[in-house]
Amino acid sequence: MRETSPDPIAPDHIDSRQVARAFDQAAGGYEQFAALQQEVADRLDAHLNFTKITPHRMLDIGCGTGFLSGRLRQRFPKADLLALDVAPAMCALCQRSLGKRRLPWQPRRMVVAGDARYLPMASGSCDLVASSLTMQWLPDPVAMLREMRRVLAPDGLLLFSTFGRRTLDMLRRTLASIAPEHAGRVLPFSDVMRLGDALQRQAVQLPVTDSDLMTLTYPDITALVRELKGMGASASAIRHRQGGLGGRKLLRQLAEAYPIDSDGRIHATFEVLYGQAWHKPAEYQHGAGVIPILEE
Ligand SMILES: C[S@@+](CC[C@H](N)C(=O)[O-])C[C@H]1O[C@@H](n2cnc3c(N)ncnc32)[C@H](O)[C@@H]1O
C-alpha cells in the first residue's frame, strides 16, 4: 500500500507558485535574516577546497540574492557564471550584487528566472552545477537532482546543500505537544540516507553526503518565527493546508510551551546536508537517473 504521510524526499504538498511568491515578497529583507544561509553558502563553497576542478561554466540554482554565486565567482573568476531563481525579485537582487563586482570580461547578464525542475540549459553544458538551500523548497527534489545531472558536463561536479530531517525539531515537537496536527505546520525535510540514495541513483560517480548541525539562539519564539518568515520560509505559504505559524493564539501557545534555555533564550536546530558527485557517462550507470524515489 502506498504510504499517505508526506515523503520527505518528495513532499507533494509544496506549491511551487506559493514558494515563488513567498520568496518574491521576502527578497527585499532576505539578507537581514539570512546569516544561516550565508554561513551554509560559505561552507558549501569550502567543499571546493578539496576538489580539483577548473570550470568553464558554472550554474547556481536557486541563487537567492547571490551568496553562493558571489563565492563561486570569487573562486573561479575566469569561468562563466549563470545564476537562476524562480523568484524574479531574487533574480534582480542577485544580478545587482554580481553586477557590482563584475570584472571586465564577465558578461553583463548573469541571472535568469527559471525553475530548478526545468532548467533552461542544454544537456551537458555546465562543469559546475551548484545549489545552496534550495532543494528543500522543491515539490520533487529528485527531479531537481535529475536536472542538475542532465545539465552537468563530462568531468563536471554537482554540489548542493539542503536542510535535513532534524531541522526545527524542537519547533515541530513543541507544536505537536500543543496539538498533534500542528506538527504538520513545519515542512518535513530530507533524510541524509535517502538523499544519498537518491544521489547515487543518478548517473554520477564518487557521490558523497555529509551534514552539519547548527544551533541558533533567539530572544523568544516571535523572533524565531519572524526570522523563518524573513528568510522566505513563510509557513503559511509552504504548508498552506495546515496553516502558518503566524496566528496570535498559536504564537501565545508556542511562547508558553517552547523550552527556554538557562540564559533565558530559546534555541532552534538546523541540520544542513551537503551532497556532491562527479559526472559519470550514463551508459555506465544501471537505470541511470530514471528511478524516482517513491514510498511503497
Ligand atoms: C533559502 S533561499 C537560498 C538562496 C541562496 N541559494 C542562498 O543560499 O542564500 C532558496 C531560494 O530558492 C529559490 N527557489 C525555490 N524554489 C525554486 C525552484 N523551484 N526553482 C528555482 N529556485 C527556487 C527561492 O526563490 C529562493 O531564492
Q: Average pLDDT by consecutive 10-residue portion of the chain (296 residues)?
A: 43 74 89 92 97 96 97 95 96 95 82 96 97 92 95 97 94 90 78 90 94 96 88 53 68 94 96 96 51 31
For 190, residues 6+ apart whose C-beta sits below 8 A from its C-beta are: 8, 9, 135, 136, 141, 162, 163, 164, 165, 273
Q: What is the pLDDT of residue 242?
A: 52
Instruction: Using the structure block, give the residue that is written with the C-alpha cell 571546493.
Output: 48
Cell of 234: 513563510
Measured from the Cβ of residue 142, the count of other Cβ atoms closer than 10 Å reads 24
Total domains present in the chain: 1
Which CATH number do you get for residue 149?
3.40.50.150
Q: Which residues line ligand 1 (CB under 6 A)?
A: 16, 19, 23, 34, 37, 41, 62-64, 67-68, 85-87, 90, 115-117, 132-134, 137-138, 231-232
Protein residue with least CA distance to atom 1, ligand 1: 133
The pLDDT score that the predictor gives to residue 30 is: 87
User: Torsion over CA of 88, 14, 8 and 61, rounded to 10 degrees?
Assistant: -10
Atom of ligand 1 nearest to the CA of 27: 27
Centroid of ligand 1 to alpha carbon of 148 (angstroms): 14
If one residue of 17, 72, 112, 137 were mutated to test the ligand 1 pocket, choosing by the most ligand atoms within 8 A of its CB, it would be: 137
Atom of ligand 1 nearest to the CA of 20: 25
CA of residue 55 to ligand 1 center, whole Å: 22
The atom number, within ligand 1, closest to the CA of 233 reads: 1
- Dihedral angle at the C-alpha atoms of 291, 191, 50, 43, nearest 10 degrees? 130
Whether 106 maps to a domain, the answer reads yes
Pocket test for ligand 1, best of 72, 129, 134, 159 (most atoms within 8 A of CB): 134
Q: How many residues does the chain have?
A: 296
pLDDT of residue 272: 96
Supply the range of the domain harboring residue 46.
16-165+188-213+271-282
Going from the C-alpha of 143 to that of each of 10, 138, 198, 204, the distances in angstroms are 9, 9, 10, 15
Residue 200 contacts residue 256 (beta carbons within 8 Å): no
Cα angle, residue 32 at apex, residues 30 and 34 outer, rounded to 5°: 65
The verdict on residue 249 lying in a domain is: no
Is residue 15 within 8 Å of residue 234, measured between CB atoms?
no
Decide if 59 contacts 129 (C-beta within 8 A).
yes
Residue 192 falls inside a structural domain: yes
The C-alpha angle with vertex 271 and arms to 266 and 276, in degrees rounded to 5, equals: 160
Asked whether residue 80 is domain-assigned, the answer is yes
**Structural domain contains residue 258:** no
- Measured from the Cα of 115, ligand 1's closest atom is 20
Place of cell 551548484: 130
Report yes or no on 241 lying in a domain.
no
Atom 10 of ligand 1 has which residue's CA nearest to it?
A: 134
> What pLDDT was estimated at residue 226?
87
Which helix (H) or strand (E) segment holds residue 85: the answer is strand 80-85
Query: Quick one: pLDDT at residue 108?
Result: 77
CA-proximal residue: ligand 1, atom 26 (nearest): 64
User: Would residue 25 count as lying in a domain?
Assistant: yes
Residue 233 lies in a domain: no
In eight-state DSSP terms, residue 41 is: H
Pocket test for ligand 1, best of 23, 112, 146, 151 (most atoms within 8 A of CB): 23
Q: How far is CA 69 from the centre of its chain?
A: 14
Q: Which residue has the cell 570550470?
A: 55
